[in-house]
Amino acid sequence: MRSGLRRGGDADVHLASTRPPARAARLAGYVGGVFSSLPVRRPPSSPEQAAGDLAPSCEDTAHWGPRGWRDLLPGDPSVFPPVLEAVRVLILVMVLATVPLANPHPGPGPRGITVAVTLGVSIIAWICWMRSGMHYRVMAWSLIVMGLAGGILAGLSWNSPAIAIGCVVTSAAGARMSSRASLAITAMTVAAFVITGVITGAPAGTLAGYSGAFIGLWAFGLTRRAYILRAQQAEHALEQARRAHVAETQAAALAERARIAREIHDVLAHSLGAVSVNLQAAEGLLGELPAGRPELAKAIECVERAGAFTREGLAEARRAILALRDGDGDGDGAASAAPRPLTEHVRALAEEFRADGDTPVELTVTGEPRPVGAEAGLTIYRTVQEALTNARKHAPGQPVTVTLEFTPSQVTANIVNPLPPAGAPRPLAGAGSGYGLVGVRERAALSGGSLIAGPAGEDWQVSLTIPA
C-alpha cells in the first residue's frame, strides 16, 4: 500500500498533521531577522503573509489583539518572571527616591515643575507598563509615554538616575515589539533626551553617551527577541518532527496491515476455498455410492462437517481481511459482517465441537450477559476456541466444561477438561504449530486481561479474565 510518506522532507506528509505553519516556511538570516521585523506567531491575515511574509508592519502591530505578542513567549510565567518583576520594581523605587534629590529637583519654577510632571508621568506609565500583562496596546502606549517623559526628564536632570527610564523603555521595546515600532519609540526617546539636553545645556559627551546607551539597549532587546524567536522555531521544528514520526509510524502500520491482509487472502482464503471445492466433490462422489453401509453414512457426515468448518473458516478469514483493510473496523465491510453476541457465538462454537461426538462440551453462563467490546469479545472467543481444540488434540473423548462469568467490571472464561490417562492415544497431538496458547495470551495482554493455563489437580484449566 502506498502511504505517500517518504523521509527527507514534508512534501508528501499529510497536511493536517505535519506541515509547519506558513509563517515559518522561510527564514531570513540572523541579521535580516533582527532588522527586518522579526515574525510573531499569529495567524496570517492575508494570502501574502501566508505565503511567507515574515515582517508585520507597524500598522499590523496596531491591530494585534491580546494574542498579538502573547505567542512570542511561551506563556505568562516566562513573560514576567518574579525575578524580573522584582528588578523592575527596584529600579522604579530607585528612580523615585533619587531623582527628586538631584539638581534640578522638583519645585517651583518652570524647570522644577517640568521635572515633577515628567517624573510623575514616567512613574504612572511605568506602573501601567508593568501591569499591562498580555495587553499589547496598553504595553505599547505605556512605553511611548515612558519614552517621551523619560527622555525629557533625563535631558532636564542628566546628572541623575533618570537615564534608567529611557534604558528600560528602549530595551523593553526592542524585546517585546516589532522592529519598526521599537525603532520609532527608541528614536522618540533619544530625540526627546537630546533636544531637552541641548536646551538645558547638557555636556555633549553626556548627550552622546546616553544616546548611545539607549541605542545599544534597543539592539540588546532586538537580540533577545531574536533569541526568543529561534527558541520558538526550535520548538516548532521538534513538534513537526514528532508529528511526522507519528504519521510515518501510522503509515507503516497501515502498510503492514495491508500486507498481512494480502497474505491471509492469498494463502488462507485460497487454500480454504480449494478445500471447500474438494469436499463438495467428495460429498458428491460419496452420495453416488450404494447406500446402507454405516461407514458410508459416517464418511458423508464427516465430509459435511468439514465443509461447514471450511465455510466458517472462510467467513472468519473474510472478517479478518475486512478488519485489516478498514483499519479501525468502522468500514462498510466490517459493519455488514457484524458478529453475533458473545454468548451466542461461544454457544455455537460449543455445539460445533459437541457435534463431532468425541468431545462432550457443556456451556454454563453465570451473571447477567451483556454486550462487550469487539476486541474483548474476539479475545474470549479465540481463547475458548483454542482451549477446545487443545482438548480435542490432547485429551480426546474427555468432557469439557466452558463457563462464562459476567461481573460488572470484567468477564471470565474458564475451560476445564480432565487430563487423559497415561498412555492414552492422542492421534492429533502433533497437529498445529504449538503457539496457540502463546497467541491467546498475547491477545489477553493487549486487551488488558490475563490468561492462566496449566494443570489444576487432575484437570487442565484455561482461565481468561478480561475487563469488559
Q: Which residues of 194-313 form beta strands (DSSP E)?
A: none
Amino acid at 361: V
Alpha-carbon distance of 360 to 301, in angstroms, equals 18
- DSSP string of 64-82, one letter each residue: --TTTTGGGTTSHHHHS-H
Cell 510518506, residue located: 5
Q: How many CB atoms lie within 10 A of CB 181?
A: 22
What is the 8-class DSSP label of residue 453? E
Mean pLDDT over 375-394 rounds to: 87
- Alpha-carbon distance of 311 to 318, in angstroms, equals 11
What is the pLDDT averaged over residues 303-316?
74
- Which of 99-108, 185-194, 216-225, 369-378 is predicted least confidently? 99-108
Percent of the chain with pLDDT over 90: 19
pLDDT higher at 241 or 268:
241
What is the arithmetic mean of pLDDT over 244-273? 79
Is the pLDDT reported for residue 68 higher than 50? no
Predicted pLDDT at 75:
38
Please tell me which residue, 20 or 136, carries the higher pLDDT value.
136
Structural element, H or E, at residue 456: strand 450-456
- Give rounded-to-5 percent helix, strand, coil for the chain: 65, 10, 30
pLDDT in tens, 334-355: 344 445 688 888 998 888 888 7
Contact 30, 281 (CB under 8 A): no
pLDDT computed for residue 356 by the predictor: 64
Average pLDDT, integer, range 126-154: 88
Q: Does residue 90 surpass a pLDDT of 50?
A: yes
Alpha-carbon torsion, ordered 185, 188, 191, 192, to 10 deg: -110
Which sign does the torsion angle of CA 165, 166, 167, 171 carry?
A: positive
User: Are residues 168 and 139 in contact, defined by beta-carbon separation less than 8 angstroms?
Assistant: no
Q: How far is CA 145 from CA 120, 128, 148, in A?
A: 11, 10, 5
Q: How confident is the model at residue 395, as a pLDDT?
A: 82
Q: Average pLDDT of 236-261?
A: 87
Task: Report whether pLDDT(65) > 80.
Answer: no
Q: Which residues 6+ apart lie within 8 Å of 155 measured at CB?
A: 192, 193, 194, 195, 196, 197, 198, 199, 200, 202
Write a three-state SS string for 136-196: HHHHHHHHHHHHHHHHHHHHHCCCCCCHHHHHHHHHHHHHHCCHHHHHHHHHHHHHHHHHH
Name the CA dihedral angle for 392, 395, 401, 405, rounded to a multiple of 10 degrees: -80
Q: Please report the pLDDT score of residue 62 as a whole number.
A: 36
Q: What share of the chain has pLDDT > 70, as a percent?
A: 72
Instruction: Give the model confidence (pLDDT) of 146-191 as tens digits.
Output: 999 989 988 888 888 888 898 999 988 988 888 889 999 999 999 9
96 CB neighbour count, 10 Å cutoff: 15
More confident residue, 14 or 182: 182
> 41-77 burial by CB neighbour count: b if 16+ within 10 A, else e?
bbeeeeeebeeebbbbeeebbeebeeebbbebbeeee
Paired sense of beta strands 400-406 and 361-366, if any = parallel
Q: What is the pLDDT of residue 427?
A: 56
Rg from Cα positions in the chain: 41
Q: Which of the pair, 65 or 456, is modelled with greater confidence?
A: 456
- pLDDT of 266 reads 66
Do 18 and 247 touch, CB atoms closer than 8 A? yes
Ramachandran sector of residue 410 (left: φ over 0; alpha: ψ -120 to 50; beta: rest): beta
User: How confident is the prediction for the chain on average, in pLDDT?
Assistant: 75
Q: Which fold has domain 341-420+430-468?
A: Heat Shock Protein 90 (3.30.565)
pLDDT: which is higher, 464 or 70: 464
The ranges assigned to domains in the chain are 10-260, 341-420+430-468
CB 154 within 8 A of CB 206: no
> Which pLDDT value is given to residue 416?
94
State which amino acid sits at residue 80. Answer: F
Residue 70 banded pLDDT, cuts 50, 70, 90 = very low
Measured at the CA of 139, the angle between CA 138 and CA 140, to 5 degrees, comes to 95
